Amino acid sequence: MQQTSQTKHFQCGRYRFALDQRPLVMGILNVTPDSFSDGGEHATRDSALRHAERLIAEGVDIIDIGGESSRPGSASLPLDQELARVIPVVEALRDCGKPLSIDTYKPEVMRASLAAGADLINDIWGFRMPSAVEAVAEGQAGLCIMHMQRDPQTMQEDPHYDDVVAEVNAFLAERVAILRAAGVDDARIALDPGFGFGKTPDHNLRLLGQLPRLVQDGLPLLVGLSRKSTLGAILGGKPPQQRVAASIAAAVCALERGAFIVRVHDVEQTVDALKTWWAVRNEAVGQV
């Protein structure tokens, strides 16, 4: 039986998170040579595993593994190359004690990742690719629906909305309905507005400011603003590596507005900020 407004937890594969607990920090593990902020730093299996160990030591809640860059203007990666980058890392980390998320839109990668032990599929296309819904409908894996206008190659070419919050909300509602129709329980679904994916800085700030409007039937919200160009615009053009403080501030803003998962590069700093915010919110150190 599907849960709607009564959803009390997020089912993330082998893991279950109560929605009234401390929100979660998702750490980014890009096994890519060309991601916008950390491209090439963790492009091999061994370097990726070392970085995963660091994320775990820093207190990460979910590890998000990506084999294909989705930065503006990036080209699609051949399937065999994405599988070769991602699957060995999933297999090696399967028993690390943390949920493994796979950042992919390809149904073949979804199936292979789930078979290898992944707990969450994080899809920038919102499961719009042919056979994507069928690839993930069965089982207990968490499914994150993200909004993106157009595609990575063209998404930042003059993005336009009449009402960005209403249009993103309508898209997410449509995709939720499709997953439900395929038999997916609400407890498995999370929503991501897609900050930076076909949006101007002002679009992103409007979405962040009005984040509560995107909460649907109690489904958890995932927010990813870490080191993104909107923060660079606010900071007068600072490069990604100099946007850490702004990234933490954006994460706290998202938490204040109802986000349950924040996807970040800088795990240790974000975990510290989140623990502080949570303790103040609950007026007790023991609540962290």
Active site residues: 228, 263
Q: What angle do CA 89, 94, 96 make, to 5 degrees?
A: 100
Give yes or no for a contact between 255 and 271, defined as CB atoms under 8 angstroms apart: no
Question: Residue 282 and residue 149: Cα distance in Å, rounded?
Answer: 38
What is the distance between the alpha carbons of residues 267 and 58, in angstroms, rounded to a whole number? Answer: 6
As to burial, measured by CB atoms within 10 angstroms (0-12 exposed, 13-18 middle, 19+ buried), residue 2 is middle
C-alpha distances in angstroms, 5 versus 9, 10, 124, 215? 11, 13, 25, 11
Show contacts of 156-159: CB within 8 Å, 24+ apart: 156/72, 156/73, 156/198, 159/198, 159/199, 159/200, 159/203
Helix (H) or strand (E) holding 145: strand 142-146
The dihedral over CA atoms of 257, 68, 148, 60, expressed in degrees to the nearest 10, equals -10
